[in-house]
Structure 1
Amino acid sequence: MGTPLHFPTLGNDDKLPEEIVESNFEIEADVIASIVRGRDTNGLITHRGMEGIATKISSSLEDGILSSDAPLRQKVYGFNIYTEKPLKGFWTFVWEALQDLTLIILMISAVVSLGIGVATQGWTKGVYDGIGILLCIFLVVMVSAVSNFNQSLQFRDLDREKKKIYVQVTRDGCRNKILISDLVVGDIIHLSIGDIVPADGIFISGYNLLLDESSLSGESEPVYVDNGNPFLLSGTKVQDGSAKMLVTAVGMRTEWGNLMETVSQEGDDETPLQVKLNGIAKLMGKLGLGFAGLTFFAFVTRFLVDKGIHHELRQWSSKDAMKLLNYFATAVIVVVIAVPEGLPLAVMLSLAFAMKKLMKAKTLVRQLSACETMGSATCICTDKTGTLTTNHMVVDKIWVSGLNKEMKANDLKSGIISECVLSTLLQATLLNTGAEVARDRDGNDSIIGKPTASALVKVGLLLGGDFEDIHQKFKVENVEPFNSVRKRMSVIVGLPGGGFRAFCNGAPEIVLGMCSRILDCNGYSVDLSEEQREKVACVIDGFASKTLRTICLAFRDMDDDWDITTIPQEEYTLIAVVGMKDPVRPEVKDAVETCLAAGITVRMVTGDNINTAKAIAKECGILTEGGLAIEGSELRNKTLEEMKEMLPRIQVMARSLPSDKHTLVSNLRKLGEVVAVTGDGTNDAPALHESDIGLAMGIAGTEVAKENADVIILDDNFATIVSIAKWGRAVYVNIQRFVQFQLTINIVALMINLVSACIAGIPPLKIVQWLWINLIQDTFAALALATEPPTDAVMKRPPHGRDASLISKAMWRNIVGQSAYQFSVLAVVIFDGKRLLKLNDSDNSDAVLNTFAFNSFVFCQVFNEINCRDTDKINVFRGMFGNWMFIGILVVTVTLQAIIVEFLGTFASTVPLNWQLWSLSILIGAASMPLDTLLKCIPVVKTDCHNDCYGFSRNGAEQV
């Protein structure tokens, strides 16, 4: 069992106070941590090596620590967490919102307005305009600050999810998985290919451990770690081999922790869609400045002309100053409305909303841009094992050398094979494996390891083998772990009677090519004839055609003088061919059909046999008529021109190396594809990095793969990938809805202010009213339109192209039509409203007309918000009542509008309206809906969102 942590007494004192003991332990911990960080071999020798270090930190190199001691160790040695960048407080976001130049100008205008108003009209009436502007500014700033603060909280939660990484440790004498944040000094960690070293420590034992230390040193050359160089540092990556390590420092005491203290972590970069939207925002800002200048010039010119007509150019009063200030404030408001500052907010809200929903759908989005990029994906290059299949390997059939027939694993127990063959088979399955048989606290055995290795160990146990016993009899001298380049695993063990034996298992064509002999029915190694080799090849093809994953087992005996650091590459004896079954996930076929209907090509890239790959691809619906299934070597040998002809038709690539996968992805992108790639191994990292969006597997994936991915699929399921594409498209569509809504308001506001300035010489609406409309168009609309959930319809249209315009022709049709209607209505009301509404020329008539125009314009936006739910379809109500956020925003908008009109007259420069004018305002707004129906009946020239430049459609068939 583990070793308990105890506070030793020093000198002759009965017992030191706990604080002093803890302090001494911390000093000792710092000394040990510095030895490892500095790779101080002499310091290690001074502490009596690895065993001495383990004793000092009260740990056992075999059994680890006691789980009950973990809290005490965290208190004494620290937690395995790094100091996070402090979260910005709410008031920081308030201060940042106040830095906006237009708001600063408005605040200055409000203060000047207060000063002039009080001086000319007294405190009772003179403060209304200024305070109204300040209150609106306060509302805008608070809404912006709340939105940004909530967004920062969501990013913090996302960051914490990204750090939920599990590692295998030995505690209490048992092996299990824990979060790296729960690691403590004294833990024994088990590392394998693809793991990221989670703490500083010392090498205990292992084979061919190769570390990538580029994250710390910047050097790309990997470093071998063994007893001569036993130091492992946090943040480095296991490139090859396996090992056990003793944790000597965690968290901020590690080398990585020291590095983190000196590095300032910056926020996420802008996503491509945000960059595109910021371009629109800048353009609208420039237009707004132009219109604002023209509007202000028209107001001032009209004002001076009027004064000239009345011979009052030399007579100036405080009222004139107020008018000029009002003109200036109106020009500033034009800029405020024209600049669509709500666009970035809409993107962030939509992405954050999608991320939150995807988390519930077993998806962790590591990069914000992944959501929107997946929405434009035209191709998915997916792994087979674990993604299309369940990743629960079970040995279905075995062909044992010499028997010349296929059998079920259970049949081997019937005594049909000789004891010698059985003994060799047991050794091959239980010794040459990356899996282990671990015993839990209840005494139950469980197999820990990759599915393929675990399946072979299960066969050995089924045949009566004892994992612990066989490992005691045969000492493992060297291990060459499986990776996707070698496609095999090898091990050298010392035989009890002397000499060595090498075992090898892996891809049939690789292992069979290394064999020159075969095991006969009596367990003797005999020459492998060409006829026998052909029979074995037929067995392999037969297994593969039944969708079985095939593996060959082989061995070779060597003399005592063999150099055990070198694993033989030839003259092996074939033992057996194993056929494993990994059932296809039941939901995969429907998911693939959904992708094809959405214009997304699915390509399966696997290291399996070509026949196995083709059979499974057909079962999944990936390999279709006219599609091409090739081996990676075929692609390798093609010229660039030949690749361009072949690539569109490739639907399956078998026996692929990581370089083949990278080549496929790279060339597909050159042909204009937006490529998503799934991966789980360390060697998948280049392809994941090269792709437009990398999708790592959360269960089977290595930490290196996850680090290079944009999205982590927590359930390793292909159907989950379809959900990401669906939400990605929803993000894009939501932003289009918002852009259509906002540009309509912008165009109307710019035009009506300019025309009003030229014709009437007075602003069409009051400053506070424009600020309220700006709040509706930016914040409220972003909340309503940017959080629409996806519908099935988004997966029944082709993906939008890489360089497709955000504003489609259909959107321009709707924007122009609705803008023309709103401008016309507003112009008629403002310039001829008194006559049409039969308002008397009383002191109150101007205020009634202004309120009615304001109310009508707001209701035009309320109903147009509903119109913008779909840019093409006539039925805009579909799904609306299931979206409580959208309904809630509409209700809040209408309620606040009623309060402003009826009760906040002094503040908003409004007067209460009678029911007839209220009804007419609503009717004017509602008229935009039948107009929307008519507009959508106007045909627009539709172009395919993604035109294949190489002449092939999404399903691989030639276009006509």
Structure 2
Amino acid sequence: MAKMKKSTDSHNYSSSENARREFGISIQELEKLMQKRGHEGIKQLNETYGGLSGIEQKLKTNLINGLSGDDNDLSTRMVAFGRNELPPKPPKTFLRLVLDALLDVRLVQPIIFAIILFALSFYYPSGETFEAGAKPKEANVALIESLVIIIAVIVVVLVTAFNDLTKERQFRDLQSKIEADQKFNVIRGSQVHQIPITDIVVGDICQITHGDLLPADGIVVQSNNLKVDESSLTGEIDLIKKHESEDPFLLSGTHIMEGNGKMLVLAVGTHSQMGMIYKLLDEIKEENNDNKKQNAAVNNQGATTLQEVIPDNVNQATTKDDFDRFEFEERPNLQRKLTELPNLIAYAGRRIFILIVLVLLVPFVIKEFVERREWSDKFRSRVVGYLVTGITLLIVSVPEGVPLVATISLAYTVKKMMKDNNLVRHLDACETIGNVTTICVDKTGILTTNCMTVVQVYVAEKHWKNIENSTKEIIIPANTKEFIIEGISVNTNYSSKILSSAEQETLPKQIGNKTECSLLGFVNALEGNYDEIRTHYPEEKFIHVYKFNSLRKNMSTVIRRSDSTVRMYTKGATEIVLKKCKTILNHNGDIIPFSTVDYDRLIETIIEPMASDGLRTICLAYRDFSSNRLPDWNDETSVVDQLTCICICGIGDSVGPEVPIAITKCRNAGIAVKMVTEDNINSARLIAFKCGIITHNDNFLMLESKEFNRRIRSETNGEVEQNLFDKVWPYLCVLARSSPQDKYVLVRGIMASKINPIREIVAVTGNGTNDAPALRKADIGFAMGIQGTDTAKQASDIILIDDNLNSIVKAIMWSRNIYDSIKKSLQFQLTVNIVVVLCAFIGACIVRDSPLRGVQMLWIYLIMNILALLALIIEVPTEELLTCEPYRRIQPIISRTMMKKIIGHTIYQLVVMLFILLAGPKIFNIDDGRPVDSIFKPSQHFTMIFNVFVLMTLFNAINCRKIHDEKNIFHGISKNSIFYGIWIITFIVQIVLVQYSSFIFSCVALTFEQWIWCLLFGVSVLLWNQMLNLIPVTRNMPILGASNVYELALRGELDREEQSRPEASLTKDKHFDHQE
């Protein structure tokens, strides 16, 4: 630890010297500057470095144009100030994982026995007499059977270590993918570039806007109403306002909640404030692991406490989300279930081991004692053989591969989901999405194509329709046209723009906010040039900006047009902006009064018809101020008022062609889809009908935010009451004019609902900063990969790379496929386990020996794990997965149908093996292989038992591909080359082992006729499976591990309303006013 610390300090000293030599300022000086912050930091900035311009000169950058982008310059900065990345936590080596596995309590006892038995197998005194040639052969058999236990332990240890290694690599790969996809806008060479956050260097000028998660420390160089959430570092709950002259310091890991601006990067990586905390926590963890210290102190030539190292005002209780990249360890619910199962089986296995050894050993010892035989090494070998059989059975009986099944299945699914445009941030999301019963989706970008255009416009007292094809026919006064072009150009985010396509038939590419892009497209259609206007009015010269948010629902930008005039442009939701208008531009471009009567007329004749056509309406307005009498810009209520309406734009966004199909799939899958939108209810209704969220036959409810809150809140205190909420949400299909708070209330309320005794599992989509609470609250949060802000992505479980509803449906399919794949594997493994244990036990009771030898059981153990881990869990999901109800999280992993199959095949295979054991010699005309005088010798009799069991296991693997009583078990098998490839190879190896490795596997080569009998018994498992399919599964059958509530629901002992899905069970209620 000290050596690592010394190496780190040496590297920091070298980097600091490089920074001072190249730029005249060191890393430590920049760190101290960022630690001060506030008024103290501003004072130091001005007095020590000559203010912002002084830092600009020292770092050799330009606050307007940014860095040049020269590769040599960027490399020099990385060397001098470090890279913007944190050193990854060193992974455990495979050897360390093997040692950890060896310390497992379940393996300590077998390891001790293995060592003892291995030593005893070499003990054969020279004075002992044997039959001719018996001594070396018997000695070799005893040695081989003793080695079986050691090999079994090694296999278990390697499987466990590989499982842990796979999980750790999976976590790291997933986290690396998340970090690699994080990009940020920087200005280099006067151009805006989107680069990975790891490429950001000290001296870069970053564009920051609401929703961003800051990737580095820096200082504000330009601010438009910039407000930051620093609670993750400082613990300060209130938003902190940032300005060039007031607290300009920005910290990595904090969230931009409002406004936008530019930042000069001063510290990156481990030299940033968040990076210093990561590094410090890593050091403390190392010290605690080494038991050198028990407190949070770091030694470096003297005691430095945690509070001294962490910068001023930094809260030590940093949230878990901020440390996702530092400690990325999760244990999904499914993995917990699968981890508990081997422990339970191991508990039973230890008792069966003792029982079998006693059944074998006690009668043998008693017989030897009664007959007073001489205690020879031959009998000592027999005792060793009994112990080998028991211990091997103990190890083989425990399905160590069960937890690995979940790990490999999750790893495989995560990679496949990535190809289907789902970036999984949290592993438990892979399993939870398959449990989802309700999805709350946004309209824009999810249900619609998110390629918006201005379709209709009300301007100059005339309503123009179908203008997306041509705007040349529109007659607009010159001054009104100028208002539209200039207002849209400056009152939109400058990151929003339209890139012309190189191909004539391809639509222009919209970058940034799609609504703003549609307005910019209208500017282009009016032959305006927004780039020129933006150049004339750079963001640095804005007097004030009221950024759009979910509460404000509009955006206003104040610019100076002349020495005497300051103008404010406003755009936003029509109902809100239009209410603030007192005048309007007429057909001549003149200003005329706008009354309440005019407002109502426009709502009825313009806005509602546009909304009925499925259009989002945006009102554009302006207000002029005299330079001599400027208002208090902080008084937004009085400033954004007395407006003049310019025009009303109707923006169209068509429903994606795949959306209705996806909605239908969700309905068939037992998932209710609820649309949450900021649009008015008329527009929302049309889109909902087009998507299939509502139909004319549905008993549905559509509400706007105001009415929704009135119905669910108490009249006395205004708080949400669950009983009122439960009367609304089952019918609610569309929530219009909603806010992020409404979305959060909806998600929380559905999750807390008691209508269904088994809790609803809720998924929600979101793209904005204010959607983060709902994304975090929901069981599954989907953030938009294209539209989504960094804050939304940080709060999500899965990122939709393409912002497409169809990707959510694919995620549901993959998740359900995980459950089915694991169920297939479990059904197969448990059948093998139970048959092996019971066969050994019954055989011990009947013939005083196990019909299966230790080496044979090891081969069966390998078959079981190889087929279960590779052949059965790697299945491609099919559409059939979307025709059944969601899996419930409290639902046991072993279903009634699985129990029927496990018990049924166990009974059949045991009957077949006991039949061969007892009647085989007579039926097949072979010698009886049962031990004589307690001495086991290989025989065709016991070889057939072994061969039949392996073949029945192989053919049962085909049965286990279907777990829902499907008749055609071969359906889709040709698409799974891994399955039939492993199956054929295993079959060929079995032939070789029986015919050509007889001595090692205690076998005698079988004849062709005997092989035919073995194959018939193997194939008969397929026919037996069809007979089991005919046995009905009743609700009165118990389920292993099911809760009382789940049992009651399935038995039908709950009310009809409680046992079914709310959407399916609730009928018309007089308390509801359903809208159609």
Q: TM-score, normalised by structure 1?
A: 0.92
Q: Of the candidates 413, 416, 422, which is equivalent to residue 354 of structure 1?
A: 413
Corresponding residue of 1:166? 183
Q: Mapping of 1:66-465 within 5 angstroms? A: 66-69=68-71, 70-120=74-124, 127-146=143-162, 148-163=164-179, 164-227=181-244, 228-264=246-282, 265-312=326-373, 316-403=375-462, 406=465, 408=467, 416-436=475-495, 448-465=511-528
Amino acid at match of 2:1029: K
Amino acid at match of 2:708: L
- More divergent stretch after superposition (528-537 vs 69-78): 69-78
Amino acid at match of 1:584: V
Report if the CA contact (8 A) 1:518-1:526 is conserved. yes
Residue 327 of structure 1: how far off its partner (Å) = 3.2
Corresponding residue of 1:811? 898
Report if the CA contact (8 A) 1:63-1:172 is conserved. yes
1:24 aligns with 2:117: no
Residue 48 of structure 1: how far off its partner (Å) = 1.6
Residue 730 of structure 1: how far off its partner (Å) = 0.7
Residue 30 of structure 1: how far off its partner (Å) = 3.5
Corresponding residue of 2:857? 770
- More divergent stretch after superposition (653-662 vs 456-465): 456-465
Q: Of the candidates 609, 618, 636, which is equivalent to residue 709 of structure 2?
A: 636
1:439 to 1:737, Cα distance in 2 relative to 1, 3 A: closer
Corresponding residue of 2:610? 543
Q: Mapping of 1:525-536 within 5 angstroms? A: 525-536=591-602
- For structure 2, which runs of at least 5 residues remain unmatched after alignment? 1-13, 125-134, 283-325, 713-721, 754-758, 1036-1048, 1069-1076
- More divergent stretch after superposition (571-580 vs 712-721): 571-580
Corresponding residue of 1:670? 752
Residue 477 of structure 1: how far off its partner (Å) = 0.8
Residue 621 of structure 1: how far off its partner (Å) = 0.8
1:564 aligns with 2:581: no
Report if the CA contact (8 A) 1:435-1:448 is conserved. no
Residue 910 of structure 1: how far off its partner (Å) = 3.0
Find the aligned partners of 1:135 and 1:168 in 2 and give their Cα distance.
56
Find the aligned partners of 2:905 and 2:403 in 1 and give their Cα distance.
24
Corresponding residue of 1:597? 668
Corresponding residue of 1:607? 678
What's the CA shift string for 1:458-488, capped at 9, x where partnerless? 3234334443554566642111211222211
1:150 to 1:188, Cα distance in 2 relative to 1, 3 A: same
Report if the CA contact (8 A) 2:184-2:194 is conserved. yes
The DSSP-based 3-state class of the residue aligned with 1:647 is: coil
Residue 346 of structure 1: how far off its partner (Å) = 0.9
Find the aligned partners of 1:135 and 1:280 in 2 and give their Cα distance.
23
Greater RCO, 1 or 2 (C-alpha within 8 Å, sep 6+): 1
1:573 to 1:149, Cα distance in 2 relative to 1, 3 A: same
Residue 80 of structure 1: how far off its partner (Å) = 1.4
Find the aligned partners of 2:958 and 2:425 in 1 and give their Cα distance.
33
- More divergent stretch after superposition (629-638 vs 657-666): 629-638
Amino acid at match of 2:656: R
Report if the CA contact (8 A) 1:834-1:840 is conserved. yes
- More divergent stretch after superposition (642-651 vs 31-40): 31-40
Q: Of the candidates 46, 52, 55, which is equivalent to residue 53 of structure 1?
A: 55
What's the CA shift string for 1:862-913, capped at 9, x where partnerless? 1111101112101111111210121222133223333433344444333333
1:236 to 1:437, Cα distance in 2 relative to 1, 3 A: closer
Corresponding residue of 1:726? 813
Residue 35 of structure 1: how far off its partner (Å) = 1.4
Corresponding residue of 1:8? none
1:418 to 1:410, Cα distance in 2 relative to 1, 3 A: farther
Q: Of the candidates 936, 955, 959, which is equivalent to residue 867 of structure 1?
A: 959
- More divergent stretch after superposition (17-26 vs 352-361): 17-26
Amino acid at match of 2:671: I
1:287 to 1:852, Cα distance in 2 relative to 1, 3 A: same
Find the aligned partners of 1:20 and 1:218 in 2 and give their Cα distance.
34
Report if the CA contact (8 A) 1:676-1:692 is conserved. yes
Find the aligned partners of 1:77 and 1:869 in 2 and give their Cα distance.
57
Amino acid at match of 1:495: R
1:345 to 1:68, Cα distance in 2 relative to 1, 3 A: same
Report if the CA contact (8 A) 2:460-2:476 is conserved. no
1:882 to 1:470, Cα distance in 2 relative to 1, 3 A: closer
The DSSP-based 3-state class of the residue aligned with 1:240 is: strand
Residue 782 of structure 1: how far off its partner (Å) = 2.1
Residue 950 of structure 1: how far off its partner (Å) = 5.0
The DSSP-based 3-state class of the residue aligned with 1:269 is: coil
Report if the CA contact (8 A) 1:421-1:521 is conserved. no
Q: Of the candidates 573, 587, 598, which is equivalent to residue 521 of structure 1?
A: 587
The DSSP-based 3-state class of the residue aligned with 1:416 is: coil
1:266 to 1:250, Cα distance in 2 relative to 1, 3 A: closer
What's the CA shift string for 1:471-512, capped at 9, x where partnerless? 566642111211222211122223314243322211122212
Amino acid at match of 1:892: I
The DSSP-based 3-state class of the residue aligned with 1:417 is: coil
Corresponding residue of 1:858? 950
Find the aligned partners of 2:535 and 2:983 in 1 and give their Cα distance.
73
Find the aligned partners of 2:816 and 2:388 in 1 and give their Cα distance.
40
Corresponding residue of 2:1021? 928
The DSSP-based 3-state class of the residue aligned with 2:70 is: helix
1:841 to 1:786, Cα distance in 2 relative to 1, 3 A: closer
The DSSP-based 3-state class of the residue aligned with 1:191 is: strand
Find the aligned partners of 1:925 and 1:386 in 2 and give their Cα distance.
54
Q: Of the candidates 772, 797, 800, which is equivalent to residue 710 of structure 1?
A: 797
The DSSP-based 3-state class of the residue aligned with 2:787 is: coil
Aligned length: 942
1:646 aligns with 2:728: yes
Report if the CA contact (8 A) 1:756-1:764 is conserved. yes
Q: TM-score, normalised by structure 2?
A: 0.83
- More divergent stretch after superposition (411-420 vs 718-727): 411-420
Report if the CA contact (8 A) 1:347-1:735 is conserved. yes
Residue 49 of structure 1: how far off its partner (Å) = 1.7
1:492 aligns with 2:584: no
Residue 704 of structure 1: how far off its partner (Å) = 0.9
Report if the CA contact (8 A) 1:952-1:959 is conserved. no
Find the aligned partners of 1:155 and 1:361 in 2 and give their Cα distance.
19
What's the CA shift string for 1:629-656, capped at 9, x where partnerless? 2112222122332321221111111111
- More divergent stretch after superposition (764-773 vs 532-541): 764-773
**% of aligned pairs identical?**
34
Amino acid at match of 1:290: R
Q: Of the candidates 689, 692, 699, which is equivalent to residue 626 of structure 1?
A: 699
1:841 to 1:761, Cα distance in 2 relative to 1, 3 A: closer
Amino acid at match of 2:366: V
- More divergent stretch after superposition (396-405 vs 47-56): 396-405
Amino acid at match of 1:513: K
Q: Mapping of 1:824-835 within 5 angstroms? A: 824-835=911-922
Report if the CA contact (8 A) 1:437-1:446 is conserved. no
Find the aligned partners of 1:409 and 1:819 in 2 and give their Cα distance.
69
- More divergent stretch after superposition (133-142 vs 559-568): 133-142
- More divergent stretch after superposition (83-92 vs 829-838): 829-838
Corresponding residue of 1:794? 881
1:902 to 1:109, Cα distance in 2 relative to 1, 3 A: farther
1:845 to 1:836, Cα distance in 2 relative to 1, 3 A: farther
Q: Of the candidates 31, 34, 41, which is equivalent to residue 32 of structure 2?
A: 34
RMSD: 3.0
Amino acid at match of 2:241: Y
- More divergent stretch after superposition (348-357 vs 886-895): 886-895
Residue 693 of structure 1: how far off its partner (Å) = 0.9
